[in-house]
Structure 1
Amino acid sequence: MSASSSAPLRVALLGCGVVGSSVARLLVEHSGDLAARIGAPFELVGIAVRRLGRDRSDVPVDPSLFTTDAAALVSRADIVVEVIGGIEPTRDLLLSAMASGASVVSANKALLAEDGPTLYAASDRHGVDLYYEAAVAGAIPILRPIRDSLAGDRITKVIGIVNGTTNFVLDKMDSTGAGFAETVEVAQSLGYAEADPTADVEGFDAAAKAAILASLAFHTRVDIHQVHREGITEVTAADIAAADEMGAVVKLLAICERVSRPEGEAVSVRVHPAMIPRTHPLGSVRDAFNAVFVEADAAGELMFYGRGAGGDPTASAILGDVVEVARHRVNGGRGAGESAYADLPVLPMGAASTRYHISLDVADRPGVLAAVAATFAEHDVSIETVRQRPGAPGESGDDEAAGATLVVVTHRAPDAALSATVEALGALDTVREVVSVMRVEGE
């Protein structure tokens, strides 16, 4: 599909919140440069909003462009930019846009992770583009390098910090020693966390992004329901301190791995907090920044770092996609569609290979360490290190009731075996409490 270089490309914008306002402003401010890069000017034909009448004086466009009729708007555009989020009515609007011949640029991670194949099928059927660089890491260019720059390579692992809110919270817990709840309040006061931070702190946001990353990296359809998800609400100041003792820091990680098995390759996709060495490139990612670490056979290790959210950073990624799809309309051709030829099985969490850091409150008497070690051996889990330090006395206060803390770090093992080991440890009469369990990555 092509267009004359003198004919303007009609752009419809769905949503005018923080990101949408930035997109509209940058389209206007950079209109001359964008036209020169593409070979044709843009014409913003409308901005769909939920309510008219709100003060939008900060958006430098004709007020008559605002409309509540999104369905009519998408039918008269060449490019539809979607930043409203959610599943419905967004899915129907995008499908309608593509049926009308419009290419789509979206930042909707939830919809893409939930039903990306339906959108891809529609883009193929109608011969239009579907781009969504801004859906995963804001301004950080990560999807295009995975899809295009590394198309001739074999990606083996993608591990990332893809949620700025949780990284801010964990970073401040690490630097100040504060607890989870009070740090979330700080994040909310600074605008890094929503009034209801559930999507971020429970890992839903990161899980959607992990599904998108894994789908692209491993040419396999992965939806959000196949991603193991744990949030950071159970991370304590003691966990942060324990990580520091071993030269590590706690991060919420999205981990996508290609797994080699005797019966063939598979994919493991998971989101959970983990200890990672401070010396690892991801260990130094501070504040609300995002970073994605990619490992590939030929390229080796690659690191992508930057602002993962915010109006202007996200708008930057969106406009990059807009320029790309606009060039296709001017010069002919289309971008890459869905690549799911590998169709690898997605493993359950129990089959994932990982390591554990386990803190045990045990009775301080002979034979305890032997019993603990035997429990690990029974589940075929190898111990890497064990540290013991005196604990608090028991409730009676006598020496016989005194306790100790055992800190065990394991070698890699199936997560199911490690989980079963922890359960068995909790049943030992010499173990007073399994104080904390956290996975260890990056070594």
Structure 2
Amino acid sequence: MKIKRFFAPNMREGLNLVKQELGLDAVILSNNTVDGGIEIVAAKDYDEQAIKDAADKKEAQFDARLDAELKNDRLSIDWSTPPKQAYREDYTPARKQVEPALTPAKEPVKRRVAKPNKKATWIEDPAIKAVKHELDMMRHEFRTQLNELSWADKTQQNPVRVDVIRRLLDTGFSKKLSLKLAESVVADTELEQAWQNCLQVAAQSLPVMENKILDEGGVIALVGPTGVGKTTTIAKIAARFRMRHGPEQIALITTDNFRIGAHEQLSNFARILGVPMRVASTAEDFQEALSDFIDKRLVLIDTAGMSQRDIRMTEQFKLLRDDKYDIDNYLVISATTESRAMREVIKTFADAEPKGCILSKLDETDCPGSALSAIIEQQIPLSFVTDGQRVPEDLHYPAADELMANFIEQPLMQDDDIALSVLLNGSSQYANV
């Protein structure tokens, strides 16, 4: 049996390396996330019995070594004489010699007792620690193999469900949500029918809010990371509202003092639409602008785009929490964002207490499932979607059924069972994925 360790930027490239080096009969023993990518341990000519024999041998060696270490630490004691009897025999002659010289003490002698240590410190033998680590690694490998066997059983029992999971993963859905959605698949269902049923469940799980911005207006602030399309989305909403209610009902404010050209871009939109715009560089400027535009039906606020790790976000969120003007915050997220980063964005911007979210750049991704997956898992209501640069044509109310039908039906990428078993084995490991 040949065992080899592989390193790659992602799982797909790692599996390709395994196939090229060890062939299609290779068995994945373990996979772990490391700095810079993923580590895969794979084997060729896999012999399960040999692995079990090796584990038994390692455990036997560990037990023998542990016994040896413990024996070395024991005190050498002569057990030929019972302790109490030996004590009496040694004590009696000495007592007869010392007793005549003893006189009563004038004051009782206080017994000095050493203070115990507050905390015991245990030092583990590095060799024993190394053996334990090796055993833990082998247990992990065995667990992986058992999970792969379990996955093989599931493949045989319900192959349609496996194909549905493949499609969900290929379209960008998270592992956790893919498994949950696939629970709706009945074993005897045809693949295409099962796929449609699964999409219907996903559509029912997608939170879509009843949006009245274009009808009623309000004070609306768009928040989100840099580059997600906040300024362009504001232009689309403003243009659509202008078409319904006229330019005199709209005003624009920007608090973006960090991005080069941010003021100019929004200023150009305001000039084209014929609506007023103010730049708020300070909290005082912001309050003054809101006061000046209090008679407007719709005030749109373009905020600075920040990384979810930017410490300035706290100040921005504080600025937008103004009970006097009842500001509604909407989080703009890009469909091109990787699912894990998107979940982090949604979690971080939760401090802004967004009323809903706007999904932008749907036309720029081949895997919209990543975005929809994050929205479903985080249950943040979807208010608008955008799918292009045209103003205002590329702004739409979200329809869950249409989103699933139009953006999830992507060509199926042929992932083999090795890839799926690596992605999904021991799915409890991905409880937070």
TM-score by length of 2: 0.26
- Higher Cα Rg, which structure: 2
> Per residue, is there more helix in 1 or in 2?
2
TM-score, normalisation: structure 1: 0.25
Structure with bigger strand share is 1
